[in-house]
Structure 1
Amino acid sequence: MKGPTASGKTALSLKLFERLPVEIVSVDSAQIYRGLDIGTAKPDTDILGQVPHHLIDIREVQETYSAANFFQDAAKVMSEIHQRGHIPLLVGGTFLYFRAIEQGLHQLPEADPTVRARIDQRAKKEGWSSLHRELSRVDPETAKRIDENDAQRIQRALEVLYLTGKTLSSHFFKSPEGLKMHFLDLTLLPDSRDELYNRINRRFDEMMTQGLLEETQRIFNTKELARNSPAAKIVGYRQLIRFLEGDYDLATAIDRAKAASRQYAKRQLTWLRHQSAGAQCFFDQDRLQPAKIVEWVKKNLRYNRV
């Protein structure tokens, strides 16, 4: 189940759990981090205790996690789910991870602290937008999928280039090493982009009410974590860290976090438009009728226990 942020994926996945023998596999590069609960819209502890979820809370905020890591972890988890006689329900909006399991990946290099430090130093002097322009010249296919202020993804794309001499986009390919499984592709889309943006704004306000600022302050409690940990680059946390460091007032940080979330959703919608040929799309009115989606799954899924 793919969809942009705030499209209702979590709520629908829980409805499907009530009606089908599924276990949920998170396809979300932010929900892997322990402690980042509010800002990643992670299911609450009651839901996690009642509904099987996988690949949530598997890394500390200072640890890196790549598409290759996800490929390996997802393959293992999905195999175990099948062995229990259940169906893996992959849910999320990190489309690079979906692409990895559907099409396969070349072996990418591990993170190199020295190279990353060099890139970070350049970013401090030149700005991430300058490094994004460099990436656009050498790897336009990757650059067009990355916002000019998305520090984590710009850094990784340049790191792969510097370490291998090859662009990140050249490492993706349709491969016999991809997961040999039948994927039923269900995509959630908003009725309108404006409505999605309004939901994003409302949800961020709710997160602030729930204690997102306090969560940010508690998790990123040292200058090293706030400035250098991979998780500190996640939308929402990144802007609130800037407030805590005195770069923005709170209202500005909130406005910038909402704007960055909307930009992220726009990129997700663009990706879905270009990469989801053959997917079954459901819209907001469909999401409110889960029985309709369940019937479609039962009709199309190659699984004799549904």
Structure 2
Amino acid sequence: MSATISDKLPPAILLMGPTASGKTAVAMALARRFPVELISVDSAQVFRDMNIGTAKPDAATLAEFPHHLVDLIPPTEAYSAARFRTDALAAMAEISARGHVPLLVGGTMLYFKALIEGLAELPQADPATRAAIDRDAASRGWPALHAELTQIDPATAARLHSTDAQRIQRALEIFHLSGRPLSALLAASEKQRTAYQFTAIGLLPSDRSVLHQRIAERFATMLAAGLEAEVAMLRERYPLHAALPSMRCVGYRQVWEVQDGLLPRHDLRDHGIFATRQLAKRQITWLRNTLRPQTVDCLAADADDRVARLLGKTLI
């Protein structure tokens, strides 16, 4: 990912990494040294009263280092990448107007991508439309549907093989539902690219096994701090159900299953650690394959100094 859009644009720092990579500690170290304000990029920390399982900074930390986009909504509501982009841009504008630099820190990689690139407003999948396309393909064959796509969306058709059923189906579905070709919708999202000079830094582990140990220790600490009691409190305070985004968060989902009798309590720790490791794996894949920031070894004792050196002229 390109770190710079234009030298004339206001600067913004993106500090991203998997869970347990020490992002918050590095961000606070930077806040002690530079005129930055922190913006949380975390799909779980937006929920109020969800503190332990989200590793939300405590009240004393938030008082010393205020975080934007923390404690925004109750756990009964949903929060989207599109809403994050709107909220983050508003916070960034306020921070820049104060002469400070936005420092966006977190591990929700889709939010970073939405902020940088914008979001294509694509229609949701429609089973009836897909079934009709499948019937047409069964009758005429996918090459014939590819030829049809060439007439309505030549740009998309040109990059698809004539037998790429899944992508041909999706492109035709989008056209039937929206009346616009996929290529036009993607071009519109490209115009949403954010007008900031981004410096993107990823905290990645040089040794995955050490990150796994951190994850295990972190989840054990959450359990000792009262994660189960926190979930019980949330269930008493709010009309929650297991399908809500808040209760699908790692840790909360496993505790919910224990409290509903779906998971033996003695398996909670192992299930929570496994789910957190899977989350970290997905985050690392996003970082390496999609976002591609400059990287710093999150296991290095001087990780914050290394990040500060990478920022260089951005914060001077």
Q: Which category of TM-score, normalised to the shorter sequence, fits these structures? A: 0.7 to 0.9
Listed as ranges, the matches of 1:249-260 within 5 Å are 249-260=264-275
User: Hey, what's the Cα distance between the residues in 2 that align with 1:182 and 1:240?
Assistant: 41
- Against the structure 1 CA distance between its residues 172 and 262, is the aligned structure 2 distance closer, same or farther, given a 3 Å change threshold? farther
Quick check: 2:76–2:239 contact (8 Å CA) kept in 1? no
The structure 2 residue matched to 1:219, chosen from 234, 245, 250, is 234
288, 292, 297: which is aligned to 2:302? 288
Deviation at 1:253, TM superposition (A): 2.3
Structure 1 residue 171 displacement after superposition: 6.9
1:209 aligned counterpart, secondary structure? helix
- Partner residue, 1:48: 62
In the alignment, the residues of structure 1 paired with residue 284 and residue 186 of structure 2 have an alpha-carbon distance, to the nearest angstrom, of 20
Aligned residues: 256
Equivalences for residues 232-271 of structure 1 within 5 A = 232-271=247-286
Task: Tell me the percent identity.
Answer: 41
Gaps of 5+ in 2: 1-14, 125-164, 168-173
1:200 maps to which of 206, 212, 215: 215
Give the CA deviation at 1:227.
2.4
Matching residue's letter, 2:194: L
Q: Partners in 2 of 1:194 and 1:225 — Cα distance?
A: 36
Name the CA distance, whole Å, in 2 between partners of 1:261 and 1:191.
18
The normalised TM-score by structure 2 is 0.74
Question: 1:22-33 counterparts in 2 under 5 A?
Answer: 22-33=36-47
Q: Residue 201 of structure 2 aligns with which residue? A: 186
CA contact 1:64–1:230 (8 Å) conserved in 2:
yes
**Cα 1:165–1:39, aligned 2, differ >3 Å: closer, same or farther?**
farther
Compute the displacement of 1:223 (Å).
9.2
Contact 1:16 1:290 in 2 (8 A): yes
The corresponding residue for 2:192 is 177
Instruction: Tell me if 1:4 matches 2:18.
Output: yes
Distance 1:212 1:164, change over 3 A: farther
* Residues 52 and 223 (structure 1), Cα distance of their counterparts in 2 relative to 1, 3 Å cut: closer
Alignment partner of 1:296: what SS?
helix
Indicate conservation of the 8 Å contact 1:68/1:108, yes or no.
Answer: no
Separation (CA, whole Å) in 2 of partners of 1:75 and 1:38? 27
Q: Which runs of 5+ in 1 are unaligned?
A: 111-136, 140-159
- Separation (CA, whole Å) in 2 of partners of 1:270 and 1:49: 33
What TM-score comes out, normalization by structure 1 length? 0.76
Q: Does 1:21 align with 2:35?
A: yes
Q: Distance in 2 between matches of 1:213 and 1:260?
A: 16
Partner of residue 109 from structure 2, selected from 73, 91, 95: 95
- CA RMSD across the alignment: 3.0
Q: Tell me if structure 1 keeps the 8 A contact 2:38–2:67.
A: yes
Q: Does 1:274 align with 2:281?
A: no
- Matched letter for residue 182 of structure 1: Q
